[in-house]
Structure 1
Amino acid sequence: MKINGNEIRPGNVIQHNGELWVAVKLQHVKPGKGGAFAQVELKNLLNGSKLNERFRSADKVERVRLEQRDYQFLYEADNALTFMDTETYDQIELQTDFVGERAAFLQDGMMVVVEIHEGKPIGVRLPDQVTLEVSETEPVVKGQTAASSNKPAILENGIRVMVPPFVEAGDKIVVETNEVAYLKRAD
């Protein structure tokens, strides 16, 4: 579907220069001289590279709709992740590199959304939050103020996050998967 350059919104997937890009940030600019334009930060869906592009209202871009299907994570073997379609029970294998560093958050049976374009998987969306156990963390140093000092902790999946001083090894915490950041202690 063709749309005008000034109709692009964050989260839209567009076809630009023969590749698929998602709009990450957008700023409408009205210079004192010349026509207005949209300054758009784009991220390549396949290789993750970024691009800043200007689109005027007269520019036409192809907006792409992705098919989103629910998959269940089954297991990891030989650097490949196996997912099962919850409707058809078909299984697909994706390379660990395809999901990236966030693959460490995958847990057996976890539901994810696989984005598909023309029958080919191009992205995996994990849940925004996961609950994990803290494997190890440094002891609290007396005299530090609780408000400003966080300490490093290593989670059961090997990911390192900064946590408040009251979190100890063995505690379960909720982690934000997109920012890889501590949110709260799990109930």
Structure 2
Amino acid sequence: MPKINGNEIRPGNVLEHNGGLWAAVKVDHVKPGKGGAFAQVEMRNLRNGSKLNERFRSADKVERVRLEQKDQQFLYQEGENLIFMDTETYEQIQLPAEILGERRPFLQDGMTITVEFHESEALNASLPQKVTCRVVETEPVVKGQTAANSFKPAVLDNGVKVMVPPFVGQDEDIVINTESMEYAERA
């Protein structure tokens, strides 16, 4: 595995540190008036989700880990586990439902997601950036209500509550951004 200097750490890098695998969430480069420059790195443990703040000087060497990304197709849920199939080898794997966190309701039958592996251990899973959902409950459309920043609450077919523009009505399909969990556009 390649070693990088402490000042080369970027958000999204996966590092091997203190015997664990950590994802760099936030990186601030600090140049104090006295002493050498350093990178203040906020990291999240990929195995248990704990957080850690660490300082790395430019002379510090850190082990950077490359994760293997594979596309997996969602088949079904079995108890607390989600069953996925590798789209190339047709091999099935079982992952805990909490690997998706709060984005779990947006997982739909047959959806292809990207799973990141480190030596055959699944560490992270990400949904497509945009997912189409149906509005099942919202206030009726009011004519003439065109204020720039007016949004109204809506409940989607997966039970998630989001804010939508006033022109979106019930039983309409909308596109949700899964990263921000907000309304993106009409479907």
Same fold (TM over 0.5): yes
Matching residue's letter, 1:16: H
Structure 1 distance, partners of 2:100, 2:35, is 42
Structure 2 unaligned blocks of 5 or more = none
Aligned to 1:69: 70
Q: Name the SS of the counterpart of 1:178 in structure 2.
A: coil
| 1:51-90 paired onto structure 2 within 5 Å | 51-90=52-91
Aligned to 1:6: 7
Matching residue's letter, 2:106: F
Identity %, equivalent residues = 67
Aligned to 1:39: 40
- How far the C-alpha of 1:102 sits from its partner, in A, is 1.0
Aligned to 1:111: 112
TM-score (norm: length of structure 1): 0.93
- How far the C-alpha of 1:48 sits from its partner, in A, is 2.5
- How far the C-alpha of 1:168 sits from its partner, in A, is 1.1
Aligned partners of 1:9 and 1:26 also within 8 Å: yes
- How far the C-alpha of 1:161 sits from its partner, in A, is 0.7
Structure 1 unaligned blocks of 5 or more = none
- How far the C-alpha of 1:183 sits from its partner, in A, is 0.7
TM-score (norm: length of structure 2): 0.93
Structure 1 distance, partners of 2:86, 2:144, is 52
- How far the C-alpha of 1:78 sits from its partner, in A, is 1.5
Structure 1 distance, partners of 2:128, 2:143, is 36
> CA 1:8–1:145 in 2, change beyond 3 Å: closer, same or farther?
same
Structure 2 distance, partners of 1:55, 1:68, is 27
- Equivalent pairs, count: 186
